[in-house]
Amino acid sequence: MFTKITNVFLDIMFPPICLGCKEHLEKRNEFICAACLGSIKLNNTLFCPVCQVRLAENKKICNHGPEKNMQFPYLLAAATNYDSQIIQNLIHYYKYKNFNEISNTLGNILIEYLWFTFENSKLIRQLADENYSVAYIPLHFIRENTRGFNQSKLLAQIISKNFNLELVDALIRIKNNPPQAKLRNHNERQKSISNAFQIANPDKIKNKNIILLDDVHTSGATMSEAAKILKQNGANKIIALVIAKA
């Protein structure tokens, strides 16, 4: 009874609003209205992590593929683009305002993108047969304790559960480097993230294909460093799955 009264009071004093259009929402655990959610344009391919060219039919047609460029040893799977103000708002409130429940909305965007992208090639149905596991970019324990959660891990849990794939705590972050968004260019970001990760469970990644979760792909420095460590410890193909690419 007390909880219901509290929720009614909160709805009156602080009505929930859409993080896109700022219109009132009917339910407190919602963060975006149906119209704004439907306006988010989803991608339908994988991308080269270097030049971000679309890889038609998920084939490695770009000369910057993982086999030829070990600086970016992965294929990029970006659900949408970061130029969307709605996506920017969702990610901002998710990461910096501690709205961890937004993980459900963002997780559903990732799921829809994966089905939309891989339906014809049937890759999703083959994930288990192709020995895929789900991993995520870890936070340093100080930052995770401050934030209260790891946004990438929450998304990885959703993907793991939805596609019935093993979730692996593959990496440990041993370097509490500043947020990449605060650094000016790729060289600074690459230097900052260098040697930031160690392998947590080598037996869990050896000879495995990995879906590696993060929120945003900007310069690719963080994802590249993490993927490099995974590759050095026996991982096979890595698909970097993110909500948005900048």
Side chain identity at residue 203, one-letter code: D
Q: What is the pLDDT of residue 73?
A: 87
**For residue range 1-33, what is the model confidence (pLDDT) as tens digits?**
434 433 443 444 357 899 999 998 987 678 999
Tell me how far apart the alpha carbons of residues 30 and 229 are, in angstroms, rounded to a whole number: 37
Q: What is the pLDDT of residue 191?
A: 80
> Token pair of 184, please?
């000016």
Q: What is the pLDDT of residue 4?
A: 41
Give how many domains the chain has, as a whole number.
2
Based on the fold, state whether residues 191 and 167 are members of the same structural domain. Answer: yes
Q: What is the pLDDT of residue 229?
A: 95
Q: What is the pLDDT of residue 26?
A: 81
Based on the fold, state whether residues 32 and 90 are members of the same structural domain. Answer: no
Based on the fold, state whether residues 173 and 92 are members of the same structural domain. Answer: yes
Using the structure block, give the residue that is written with the tokens 């901002």.
92
Based on the fold, state whether residues 17 and 51 are members of the same structural domain. Answer: no
Based on the fold, state whether residues 9 and 118 are members of the same structural domain. Answer: no
Q: What is the pLDDT of residue 3?
A: 40
Q: What is the pLDDT of residue 59?
A: 54
Based on the fold, state whether residues 87 and 21 are members of the same structural domain. Answer: no
Based on the fold, state whether residues 119 and 237 are members of the same structural domain. Answer: yes
Based on the fold, state whether residues 80 and 165 are members of the same structural domain. Answer: yes
- The upper half-sphere exposure of residue 35, i.e. CA atoms within 13 Å in the direction of its Cβ, equals 7
pLDDT beneath 50, residues of the chain = 1-13
Based on the fold, state whether residues 31 and 54 are members of the same structural domain. Answer: no
Based on the fold, state whether residues 50 and 162 are members of the same structural domain. Answer: yes
Q: What is the pLDDT of residue 183?
A: 64
Based on the fold, state whether residues 56 and 29 are members of the same structural domain. Answer: no
Based on the fold, state whether residues 30 and 48 are members of the same structural domain. Answer: no
Q: What is the pLDDT of residue 217?
A: 94
Q: What is the pLDDT of residue 28?
A: 67
Task: Look up the domain containing 216 and give its range.
Answer: 44-245
Instruction: Dump the DSSP string for 40-83.
Output: PPPP-SEE-TTT--EEGGG---STTSTTT-TTS-SEEEEEEETT
Residues 6+ apart with CB under 8 A from 172: 138, 197, 198, 199, 200
> Token pair of 84, please?
């969307």
